[in-house]
């Protein structure tokens, strides 16, 4: 998870990534977008998705832990 988070810092926020994708596709015709450019964008988006999933898992585990602690107190 830490490795994914460090990678995501290099790519910016999810909103910035989506803006980047949109600008790349709008700047040039879809037919003129290079395969390398699309592969790079795909890698950025996959990393952002992985970071999001890791964060979601972390938050869910914390929630479960908190609920277990509350249950012990009852």
Per-residue pLDDT in tens (0 to 9) along the chain, 74 residues = 556 555 555 556 777 777 777 777 776 665 667 778 878 888 888 888 888 899 999 999 999 999 999 999 98
| List of residues 6+ apart from 44 with CB closer than 8 A | 11, 17, 20
> Domain for residue 52, yes or no?
yes
Number of domains into which the chain is organized: 1
> Domain for residue 15, yes or no?
no
Question: Is the Cβ–Cβ distance between 47 and 4 less than 8 Å?
Answer: yes
> Domain for residue 67, yes or no?
yes
> Domain for residue 26, yes or no?
no
> Domain for residue 64, yes or no?
yes
Residue 41 CA to residue 11 CA, distance in Å, equals 10
> Domain for residue 57, yes or no?
yes
Sign of CA dihedral 48, 50, 54, 56: positive
What range defines the domain where residue 66 resides?
A: 34-73
> What pTM value is reported for the model?
0.60
């Amino acid at each position: 998870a830490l490795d994914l988070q460090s990678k995501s810092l290099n790519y910016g926020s999810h909103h910035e990534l989506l803006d980047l994708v949109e600008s790349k596709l709008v700047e040039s015709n879809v037919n003129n977008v290079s395969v390398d450019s699309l592969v790079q964008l795909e890698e950025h988006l996959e990393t952002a998705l992985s970071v999001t999933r890791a964060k979601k898992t972390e938050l869910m585990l914390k929630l479960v832990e908190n609920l277990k602690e509350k249950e012990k107190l009852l």
